[in-house]
Amino acid sequence: MDTLQKAVWNDLVKCSKCGGPYISTSLGMCVCQKCGFEEPNDFGKVRDYIERNGTVPAMEISRGTGVPIRKITQYLRAGKLEIPEESDVFIHCQKCGVELRYGRYCPKCASELKQELEQAFDMAEVGAVPKNPQGKMQFLDRNRS
Rg (CA), the chain: 23
- Model confidence pLDDT, tens digit, residues 6-63: 443 446 678 888 888 888 877 788 888 899 898 888 999 999 999 999 888 999 999 9
* Global pTM value: 0.67
What is the distance between the alpha carbons of residues 79 and 56, in angstroms, rounded to a whole number? 17
Residues 6 or more apart in contact with residue 99 via CB below 8 angstroms: 90, 91, 92, 93
